[in-house]
Structure 1
Amino acid sequence: MKKILSVILCIGLGLGILQAQNIEISGRVVEANSQAPIEFATVKLLDAETGQMLAGTTSEADGSLLLISQDATFTLEISFIGFLTQKISDYELVNNRLDLGTILLSEDSELMDEVIIRGERSTTEFQLDKRVFNVGQDLSSTGASALEVLNNVPSVTVNIEGQIQLRGTGGVQILINGKPSVLASDGGNALGTITADMIDRVEVITNPSAKYDAEGTSGIINIVIKKEEKKGVNGSLTLNTGVPNNHSLGFSLNKRTEKFNLFSQLGVGHRTFPETFESINSNFNDQSYIRNVGDGEKNETFFNLILGTDYHINERKVLSLTGNFAYELETEYSIGNFTSENRSSGPVAGWTRKEATEATNPKWQYELQYKSDFSDKDDHYLLISALGSSFAKDQMSTFNNLPSFGETALQDRQQTDTDFGQAEYTFKADYTQPLTEEITFETGGQYLITDVNNDFAIRTLENGVWQDIPERTNTFFYTQKVLGIYSTAAYEGEKYGLKLGLRVENTDLKTLLEQTDQDNQQNFTNLFPTLHSSYKLADNFSLQGGYSRRISRPRLFDLNPFYNIRNNFSIRTGNPDLLPELTDSYEITGILDLELFSLSSSVYHRYITQTVENVTTFEDNVAITMPMNIGTNKATGIELNGKYTPNDWLSLNGDFNYNYFNREGTFEASPFDFTADQWSARLTSKFNLPADFTLELIGNYQSKYQTFQRTISGYALADIGLRKKIMKGKTILNLSVRDAFASRVFENRTVQNNFSQYDYRLRGRFITFGISYGFGKGEAMEFSGQKRF
């Protein structure tokens, strides 16, 4: 009995002691400067003697914390990334309670500097079937658009009209976050609504695997938009102003909780694109020519909003919904001074052509995506997405011809009217399963629907009434449906990697000109095999090889027969009968990575059939340009990309691309075989200067090159960027000068047996000053107001 009482007494005393030591610890964690609460700060309860962790928690959305301890002697450690760690070991218990009150965390200036420096670095990473260019915070991106960011990416060039080439060849497919997007379509230069601060990285895929859509003869460029997922609240506010007009305000905000990630980006602004131009049409038969010299400007007021959320159903299932709305108001003015002359008798007539254009461009896009990760292996997942987008353009242009001397047969006034609409719907499913640590299997499918209508008219003013020109007025309908399925299998060992794939795509294309009842229907199925391999010869040297078959279906504006009469002696129109290009692409790449120097070198070959070329015909001094399928193109080239960082204040990045091509074919029963080449080079120098200044200098050269009928002139340009960080990197001041010497021109000559044509355009220098402030847990970013060069 005594033993039983002793046991009960001991248990009772033990419980009493434990109850007496049940200590409640509370407090609130805030930022020292702003007094803003810090969510998800890490709170550790450590043994006072051994430092061993006894318990832990994280702070709530309001910064509050709550811990229970059964030991009266302990040390508290409160930490959060970017802030100095706070340790508390001196305290006083009151009734087994410890109220820490307000705990102030101060920013760690050294750590903050390190974080920002990492964010600024723009590096190129090599993967089995692509290269990844991390945009970072390049100085030259201040006030830059997505097009200008692309122009600084290795292998990519963008001309003055915004046409994108990869290794000197067009037919590039542009994706946004791995999917087709109205923002990357041909309509309305929509890439202008994507700004530099929105871009996380750019993926350059010269030989895409079968997992990707087979569209694009020269490859794929995938623009990955930032979607912050820092826990808590973070954001930035940016302001740009520039000459010529480039004024914009940008705002980004992100909120991350345990279940939700809410993100948003907003941009508004106004910008102006001045231009000088010259064109000459020469008729060799009668020794006459028509010359046009003038200037103009395009003004855009734009608005862009991105909203999205990720809902984490559980640790392995995520549902995402994203919406994007963009709107542009455009006005355009130009004055062209025309002169008609005969080389032997002199001037015949002169007149001035004035243009006034107004347009609205609304664009929207939404996407619903579901991702489920399986628990058996990493990277075993199912991804299902549905995407819808729309782009519209309502444009009216009026042209006045004012005679200055002589007589002309031109109408006094002309008008063009276009009502354009495009809708796209993409349904996609991807399944990835690692079979072993080295072997991965992928399969999936995609169904893409594109539906377009364009009601266009060209009119003349007769007796005070606008009259349609029947042969230049019509309604164009375009419908394309592409169904694709694929499978890939990949082996990636320590030294050797191999990836095989096959994609099958069926294309159903229909076009109709309603008024003239002209239709074009095409239905075809293609196989697209792919092969990628890699071999690591040493720790710092590896080889990659790849093959892919690609298709480039006719772009909408290449099919649309609407006539552009801005210069009614140099007209551009589409071709509804255009066929797709098919490309076989091969390449081998060597990659050397040393401590201070890295170099990649690629040798590639592309064989393109049914090559699309712009063909110009000439009649009555009017040059009409239309895309046509002309023969084959065999292009062989070499590309070098290098980076040298000799010390912590200087880094050099260089790119060089050379390709030699052999064009073969027949046009109008005459062979036109010829060979030509082209090359480009870029050098970027970045200097880290005292007082947190950074200077960036970019030199770029594009050689002249030849097409079926044209010779495109080369150019050299320089961009300059200067940055100053203040407030421990929370605020960044940027100055950017693009095309510093106003040397980037678009110039081409067409010389045929009976005529020649010359075109010249210059945009000039753009200077932009920007200021960016990061608040909450965000860092300063850069927002763009610029769209074109």
Structure 2
Amino acid sequence: MKKMKSVLILVLFFTTLFSFAQQAPTQKIKISGKVIEKISKQPLEYATITFLNPNNPKPVAGGITNPKGEFDIEVIPGVYDINIEFISFKVNEIKQKNLQVNTSLGLISLEEDANQLNEVIIRSEKTTVEIKLDKKVYNVGNDLMVKGGTVSDVLDNIPSVAVDIEGNISLRGNDNVRVLIDGRPSNAINIAEALRLIPADAIEKVEVITNPSARYDAEGGGGLLNIILKKGKNRGLNGTFIGSAGYPENNGLSGTLNYKSDNFNLFTTQGYNKRNSPGNALTNTNYLNADNTINNIVNETRENDRFSKGYNGNFGIELFLNETTAWTNTFNYRKNNGDNRDNVFQNYFEADNTFDYTRNRINLENSDSENVEFATNFTKKFKKEGHKLTLDGSFSTSKDLEIAVITDRATNTAKVKFDNTLNNQSQSRNLLQMDYVLPIGEGGQFEAGYRGDFSELLTDYQVENDGLINKNFTNTLEYKEKVNAVYTQYGMKINKFSVLVGLRFEDSNININQLATNDFNTKKYNNFFPSAFFTYEISDKSSASVSYSRRIQRPRGRMLNPFSNLSSNINIFVGNPDLDPAFSDAIDFGYIKRWDKLTFNTSLYVNKTTDVFQFARRESGDFVNGIPITISSPINLATEYRAGFEFTLNYSPYKWWKLNGNFNFFRNETQGDFVYTDFNNKIITQNFDNIATSWFTRITSKVSLPYKIDWQTNATYNGAEKSAQGNRLGVFSANLAFSKDIMKDKGTLSFNISDVFNSRKRMMETNLPGFANSYGEMQWRVRQFSLSFTYRFNKPKNEKEKQPKKLQNDNEGDYQG
């Protein structure tokens, strides 16, 4: 009886203990891993991981991967079937996995499903702008505004970026911007013209990097723009063709083709365009006496007709030598022919506004440019994830030839004057680069590399006046630049805190030789460029960062050449061959917050630039029919302080409506004096101390209407800005576009209007006491209408493609949260 009683007590005890254990909360475990694409080994963002009960196949837990392809999911200990899925890829199933403790599933490879690639159309397209803490990534494919357009049109629709009417690019109000194409500096002599030649459809995306790390070239105090061209990622043969027509004349045909197999990837982009970009300008000037009373008046108007025919093409092959080694070779060729008719009228008035006479200068210019480049990339990945070596080379030649005939007539004389100008430029550029990445421990990474950039530019500029060489405007400028750089940086991540510190050393050897005057100038300098980035992940939805970098801006091209064009004989731009480089120290505080329908990104930034470039206007001492000639030239001033803040919003209130907004406010303070000796051998001091504030905003709205019609609108406003010698007035502009899918989504018709209100003009007020005050407007291109047709084969319109291969310069984001 006692034994039976003891057994009953034991049974009751274990039953109670078991019941308590069932009722007590179970400690969850963490299951982690990384999802990659099988062939390229690149991470897959937004892959889905689902845990299912084997006995009752319903989802128990799950999650998605982050931009690095990683996941970290909490589950109750047990046995699970695990499904790993990604759009257009075969499902990877792990059956009957016993999970009792924190477990890493390691690398999980997914393979493309060829059937899905050819049959599935996915309407949930990627957002136009991806906001990350260290950069903004602009996906070009979904932007209706740029259909049938060029790279310049693309850049002008990007948050934080502005392209002025002459094609000059600024980032957050700072025009000291470095433009990269596929991670390499543009090899064109005239970057603004080259960007107008590359069709928008050739671009996959643009990365906006406001504060680059030591891994990047130190050039560009205002930041970097990295234009990534399409190379094709889908298996088999697929492609896209776009035909466009517009008014004023804007006709083009472009296409991308791609063929990918297990062993290689062939890709090409071809584009041809024929355009007319009519523009206009005016400059109304009151020339003053010493007491600031009006001496005489000149009102100058200008009409431009710019015709161009351009071809842009590339061919490339990516060889998958084995699972860890890839070798890519690309050949790029660009050619452009243009005619520019510049018709200038100058109306002369007496001080009391009595008309005197009219002068007409007609500048007929023919231009021809050609650029050839061969680029190669070798990437070797080692056994450890993230351990790799990349070797890059780029070799290019460029030629630009401009010939102009200027006819000068005046109503107060029968004499007709003829000027001829020739601007012949040739450039060679060779770039060599090596980068090595070594993961260390948990969350650590070491990087080191070398970069050699060697370029030569020869500019032969000649002016003839009535058949005689004008030695005051004729010169041959030889510019040679050799920059050798080494860098190293280390990054690590501990829990929610990330740090990336680096140091770059650049040795510069520059020769600026004016061969006509035997003036030889050599500038040698070497500098260290440190950088540091600190990031804290406040939560899964928000992060904060602070970063620092030191940058350089080297003067080049037109800034150095003391001889320029003569389209106006009274307002002349003259380069300064004695310009020194400007150095910038930049600090950036960033914060990003994500909600279900809204992403908010903001930053506060401070830049200090020494020896900053400034354009100064002065009297030359020469006169044309009694009118003084004004010279505008770049100079080095002492210091510029720039501070500002910006924020960017991505908001999708409904599935059919997406809004992107960007606002930037900045304050500029310049400190320095311009001292020069005038034509009377008198020392003149101009005080350039100036404080100016300005702002910039852009909002883009995209609405999906019934019947597969999309409607996109954007509006931009550049606020007024004060300078030491005048003011730049505010400018508003707007663009409008519609598109409709046809032919079972294989085709798309798009119609857009660029500069709807024909208001995109640069407006300037200049005040030079005792000399002149003026008001000027310039419109590079008038309002334009365009219609384009896009056809795709074996390539769904909004297919969620896998992550593209990272560029050689795209590793810092690993530490930016």
- Range class of TM-score, shorter chain: 0.7 to 0.9
Query: CA offset at residue 369 of structure 1?
Result: 1.3
Q: 1:167 to 1:702 in 2, by over 3 A?
A: same
Q: How does 1:570-581 map to 2 (within 5 A)?
A: 570-581=571-582
Equivalent in the alignment of 2:773 = 756
Show CA shifts across 1:175-204 (max 9, x none). 011111214x53561111222111111111
Query: CA offset at residue 130 of structure 1?
Result: 2.8
Show CA shifts across 1:581-624 (max 9, x none). 10000010111100011111111100011010111112432111
Read off the aligned partner of 2:491 and give its amino acid letter: A
Return the alpha-carbon distance in structure 2 between the equivalents of residues 146 and 494 of structure 1.
Answer: 40
1:297 pairs with 2:305 = yes
Q: 1:309 to 1:229 in 2, by over 3 A?
A: same
Show CA shifts across 1:293-339 (max 9, x none). 13121000011111001111111111111011010010011222211
Counterpart of 1:317 (choices 318, 325, 329) is 325
Contact 2:181-2:227 at 8 Å conserved across structures: yes
Q: 1:396 to 1:498 in 2, by over 3 A?
A: same
Equivalent in the alignment of 1:124 = 130
Query: CA offset at residue 105 of structure 1?
Result: 7.1
**Runs of at least 5 residues in structure 1 that lack an aligned partner in the other structure:** 1-79, 86-103, 782-789
Q: How does the TM-score come out when normalised to structure 1?
A: 0.82
Show CA shifts across 1:94-128 (max 9, x none). xxxxxxxxxx979987x4143xx425x3122315x
Query: CA offset at residue 279 of structure 1?
Result: 1.4
Counterpart of 2:670 (choices 663, 671, 680) is 663
Q: SS of the counterpart of 2:195? A: helix
Between 351-360 and 188-197, report the one with greater CA deviation. 188-197
Contact 2:371-2:397 at 8 Å conserved across structures: yes
Contact 1:729-1:780 at 8 Å conserved across structures: no
Q: 1:383 to 1:108 in 2, by over 3 A?
A: closer
1:491 pairs with 2:492 = yes
Return the alpha-carbon distance in structure 2 between the equivalents of residues 533 and 83 of structure 1.
Answer: 36
Counterpart of 2:357 (choices 335, 349, 359) is 349
Contact 1:281-1:623 at 8 Å conserved across structures: no
Contact 1:143-1:736 at 8 Å conserved across structures: no
Equivalent in the alignment of 2:8 = none
Q: 1:337 to 1:671 in 2, by over 3 A?
A: closer
**Runs of at least 5 residues in structure 2 that lack an aligned partner in the other structure:** 1-85, 92-113, 676-684, 800-817
Q: CA RMSD in A?
A: 2.3
Equivalent in the alignment of 1:138 = 143
Q: 1:383 to 1:107 in 2, by over 3 A?
A: closer
Between 757-766 and 319-328, report the one with greater CA deviation. 757-766
Show CA shifts across 1:257-281 (max 9, x none). 2211110111112000001211123
Equivalent in the alignment of 1:37 = none
Contact 2:324-2:382 at 8 Å conserved across structures: yes
Query: CA offset at residue 407 of structure 1?
Result: 4.3
Return the alpha-carbon distance in structure 2 between the equivalents of residues 508 and 282 of structure 1.
Answer: 45
1:688 pairs with 2:704 = yes
Q: SS of the counterpart of 2:158? A: coil
Equivalent in the alignment of 1:157 = 162
Equivalent in the alignment of 1:736 = 752
Query: CA offset at residue 83 of structure 1?
Result: 12
Return the alpha-carbon distance in structure 1 between the equivalents of residues 88 and 743 of structure 2.
Answer: 14
Read off the aligned partner of 2:299 and give its amino acid letter: R
Equivalent in the alignment of 1:249 = 253
Equivalent in the alignment of 1:262 = 266
Return the alpha-carbon distance in structure 2 between the equivalents of residues 511 and 725 of structure 1.
Answer: 55
Q: 1:704 to 1:748 in 2, by over 3 A?
A: same
Counterpart of 2:240 (choices 236, 242, 247) is 236
Equivalent in the alignment of 1:276 = 280
Q: How does 1:127-526 map to 2 (within 5 A)?
A: 127=133, 129-183=134-188, 186-187=190-191, 189-285=193-289, 287-344=295-352, 346-375=354-383, 377-404=384-411, 406-407=412-413, 412-461=417-466, 466-526=467-527
Show CA shifts across 1:696-715 (max 9, x none). 11011001112332321211
Equivalent in the alignment of 1:541 = 542
Between 314-323 and 277-286, report the one with greater CA deviation. 277-286
Query: CA offset at residue 231 of structure 1?
Result: 1.2
Return the alpha-carbon distance in structure 1 between the equivalents of residues 704 and 581 of structure 2.
Answer: 48
Contact 2:121-2:797 at 8 Å conserved across structures: no
Equivalent in the alignment of 2:783 = 765
Contact 2:148-2:201 at 8 Å conserved across structures: no
Q: How does 1:35-74 map to 2 (within 5 A)?
A: none
Read off the aligned partner of 1:292 and give its amino acid letter: E
Read off the aligned partner of 2:468 and give its amino acid letter: Q
Q: SS of the counterpart of 1:396? A: strand
Q: SS of the counterpart of 1:213? A: coil
Q: SS of the counterpart of 1:191? A: helix
Contact 1:130-1:208 at 8 Å conserved across structures: no
Q: 1:596 to 1:390 in 2, by over 3 A?
A: same
Contact 2:118-2:795 at 8 Å conserved across structures: no
Contact 1:749-1:757 at 8 Å conserved across structures: yes
Q: 1:240 to 1:567 in 2, by over 3 A?
A: same
Q: 1:83 to 1:384 in 2, by over 3 A?
A: closer
Contact 1:187-1:391 at 8 Å conserved across structures: no
Return the alpha-carbon distance in structure 2 between the equivalents of residues 294 and 162 of structure 1.
Answer: 18
Read off the aligned partner of 1:273 and give its amino acid letter: S
Return the alpha-carbon distance in structure 1 between the equivalents of residues 342 and 310 of structure 2.
Answer: 21
Q: Give identity over the alignment, percent.
A: 28
Return the alpha-carbon distance in structure 2 between the equivalents of residues 444 and 108 of structure 1.
Answer: 41
Alignment size in residue pairs: 673
Q: 1:427 to 1:82 in 2, by over 3 A?
A: closer
Read off the aligned partner of 2:139 and give its amino acid letter: N
Contact 1:202-1:224 at 8 Å conserved across structures: yes
1:112 pairs with 2:121 = yes
Show CA shifts across 1:614-666 (max 9, x none). 11112432111111101211111010101211111111111000001211111
Return the alpha-carbon distance in structure 1 between the equivalents of residues 440 and 171 of structure 2.
Answer: 35
Return the alpha-carbon distance in structure 2 between the equivalents of residues 171 and 670 of structure 1.
Answer: 24
Return the alpha-carbon distance in structure 2 between the equivalents of residues 108 and 230 of structure 1.
Answer: 10
Return the alpha-carbon distance in structure 1 between the equivalents of residues 476 and 503 of structure 2.
Answer: 39
Return the alpha-carbon distance in structure 2 between the equivalents of residues 581 and 261 of structure 1.
Answer: 42
Query: CA offset at residue 345 of structure 1?
Result: 6.7
Read off the aligned partner of 2:463 and give its amino acid letter: I
Return the alpha-carbon distance in structure 1 between the equivalents of residues 302 and 686 of structure 2.
Answer: 37
Read off the aligned partner of 1:264 and give its amino acid letter: T
Contact 1:299-1:332 at 8 Å conserved across structures: yes
Q: How does the TM-score come out when normalised to structure 2?
A: 0.80
Contact 1:186-1:557 at 8 Å conserved across structures: no
Contact 1:339-1:347 at 8 Å conserved across structures: yes
Query: CA offset at residue 747 of structure 1?
Result: 1.6
Read off the aligned partner of 1:344 and give its amino acid letter: D
Contact 1:324-1:366 at 8 Å conserved across structures: yes
Q: SS of the counterpart of 1:118? A: coil
Q: SS of the counterpart of 1:136? A: helix
Q: 1:672 to 1:454 in 2, by over 3 A?
A: closer
Q: SS of the counterpart of 1:268? A: strand
Counterpart of 1:714 (choices 730, 735, 742) is 730
Read off the aligned partner of 1:628 and give its amino acid letter: I
Return the alpha-carbon distance in structure 2 between the equivalents of residues 576 and 688 of structure 1.
Answer: 53
Return the alpha-carbon distance in structure 1 between the equivalents of residues 192 and 694 of structure 2.
Answer: 29
